Amino acid sequence: MKVLVLALCCAADVFVLRIIWSRTDIAGGQFRRGYFEELAGEVGLAMDSAVRPDTLPRFLLTEDGDLGIPPGMTAVMPLVQRQSYELSSDAMRAPYVLIGSEGPVATGAGDRRIPSGEARLLGARTLSLQDGRLAFVEWNATRPWRDDAARLTAVDQMCGSDGGPLTINVVEGGLHVGFGRCSLVEPLPSASASLPLLAVPAGPEWATIARLPNWKVESAILWPVFAVVILKEVGMWMGLGLASAAAVAAVLACASLFAPVEAALAWAPTLIIAVAAAVFRILAMALWILPRWVRVPAVLALVALVAWAVANGTPHYPQKIMRTRQGGSQSDSCVVVGYSTVKGEALRGDRGGIRWLLDETCPRCRGKTAALFASGETLAWLRDAFCASAPSFGGEGQVTFLGGTNDDFLWALSSPMGALAMARAFIQPGLGPWQHGYEAAAAASLARIDEQVSALEGLMRCAHSRRAQFLFLHDFTPSDMIAGRLPDRTAMLARRRATVESMGNTFVDLLERFGTDAGIAWFNDSVHLSLIGHRRVAELVCGESP
């Protein structure tokens, strides 16, 4: 009977965690990821097969079975006969569409081997109005977003789509394009060595692509979750009794019928309680069998050990300092610190970002560039990590911080409401949770602005102690190109600016500096700069005298 009750408890937990242990994605090989780079002397689009990056949000399967493309990301797919596509954008404007052919991509100075799937888009053309009619025209990737937005809005107004999708049907020898009351027949080469491609940059908003035949999907099961479920139920049984285990499992299972995300998140504390209760029960049994004169010293020793572990836990410090060029001067006087953008995430091959550009193209940083970074961190981590580094790191030089957007959102993780909003975005499929999550996370992060300022002040004090100048470069997101930052994020930026300038340092809002020039080619995902953006920022840093 007890075994049956335990099995039912495990089944209830599996039901509660159904949104975690099972995940469905669009199967690989159906599209590629695009990267904006300078190719053959002009800004263009490269691509590879890395469609499931660690960065979130990533390409996802929507509730309707469509391909969801997050802001800043680009999907590239082959134009295959007898396929059709429906493209939609969050905004009341025409979706951003490119067509072209596939060509080889240069390996660059490192002459590295080209991985499978890497290529570039040749002869790219985009939808626009020409002589009052819908047409594919030559694409200029360097146009500011305001110009692209005006072009796409004009297309929408001319065609009267009323929010409907743009349809592309691939037929023998050409494309049939429809958008509202507009239509277009575009011939494709009948014989070509390169494969015709369709590229869809999401720009600053989410985009979705429905396809017929439908996208192939694949499901994955996280089997370790089942092992953790058994651990939790056995621990609860041992530590608190089978009745408690059954009651907790039943309550969570019922709650998950109405609030699946909240129930899944509430399950985590019950795991901790169950393990702690089981450990306590085992230790109590072990102490009971010891002689009486040993029990008190054993308890005191255990308490002392736990206290020491808490007080001397391993600091949450990062990867080692990364020197960009092996064999350089090793003076580390040109230092770049930050998060995953400094690391080079969202670049093709994770290489070629600001630290490489400074080391290769900036005279005062050549051979002297080093970096300190970690993905998914905040100013609190950066202060501790930088201050714990060697005094020579940045000494007598310049320390450049590139970031700020992480701090707009990730301080929310210590707030129950902010963490819940972010968890919804991570766990639930679809676009809505992400959009709500950003707003809630920004509000929760603003509530901790005093802690942010304290961490920033500590970081700058350490830089000053090394006689280094400090440059704060506040980054932005593709969505900010539409109408600027949300009010909560604007308020946080103002406090950071005031803090930096009050201590005699330089603060640059990159959106304020480059907002009129920035366009679709500046980003490769929802937060990370493309090589085009990295280059402009590196030129700014190099121009700031140390």
Domains of the chain: 2-21+225-311 (no CATH), 28-215 (2.60.120), 322-543 (3.40.50.1110)
pTM of the entire predicted model: 0.87
d(CA 512, CA 480): 11
Q: Tell me if 217 sits within 8 A of 73, measured CB to CB.
A: no
Both tokens assigned to 461: 């004090």
Q: How confident is the model at residue 149 (pLDDT cuts 50, 70, 90)?
A: very high
Q: What is residue 108's predicted lDDT score, i.e. its pLDDT?
A: 47
SS3 320: coil
Residue 100 — pLDDT band, cuts 50, 70, 90?
very high
Q: Which of these ranges, 213-222, 295-304, 532-541, has the smallest mean pLDDT?
A: 295-304
Encoded amino acid at 443, one letter: A
Residue 157 corresponds to which amino acid? Q
| Token couple for 393 | 């790191």
The yes-or-no verdict on residue 310 having pLDDT over 90 is: no
CA–CA distance, 507 with 515 (Å, rounded to integer): 16
Q: Are 115 and 46 in contact (CB under 8 A)?
A: no
Q: What 3-state DSSP class applies to 344? A: coil
Residue type present at position 434: W
Higher pLDDT, 35 or 289: 35
C-alpha to C-alpha distances, 55 to 142, 373, 472, nearest whole angstrom: 25, 15, 23
Tell me the C-alpha distance between 415 and 398, whole Å: 34
Q: How far is it, in rounded angstroms, from Cα 62 to Cα 88? A: 13
pLDDT at 453: 97
C-alpha closest to that of 483 among 204, 276, 120, 250: 204
Peptide bond into 57 cis (omega under 30): yes
Q: In this structure, what DSSP letter does residue 527 have?
A: S
Question: What integer pLDDT is reported at residue 477 of this predicted model?
Answer: 94
Identify the band that residue 113 occupies on the pLDDT scale cut at 50, 70 and 90.
Answer: very low
Of 45 and 112, the one with more pLDDT: 45
Query: Per-residue pLDDT for 77 more than 90?
Result: yes
CA distances from 123 to 44, 49, 102, 251 (A): 10, 21, 9, 60
Residues 440/412, Cβ–Cβ less than 8 Å: yes
CB of 61 closer than 8 Å to CB of 22: no
Summarised one tens digit per residue, pLDDT across range 191-202 is: 555 678 999 999
Kindly report which listed range (237-251, 411-425, 532-546) carries the lowest average pLDDT score.
Answer: 411-425
Residue 428 — pLDDT band, cuts 50, 70, 90? Answer: low
- The DSSP symbol for 10 reads H
Q: Kindly report the CA angle at 508 between 503 and 513, in degrees rounded to 5? A: 160
Please tell me the least confidently modeled range out of 21-30, 368-377, 408-417, 483-492: 408-417
C-alpha distances out from residue 17 to 5, 14, 288, 483, Å:
19, 5, 37, 39
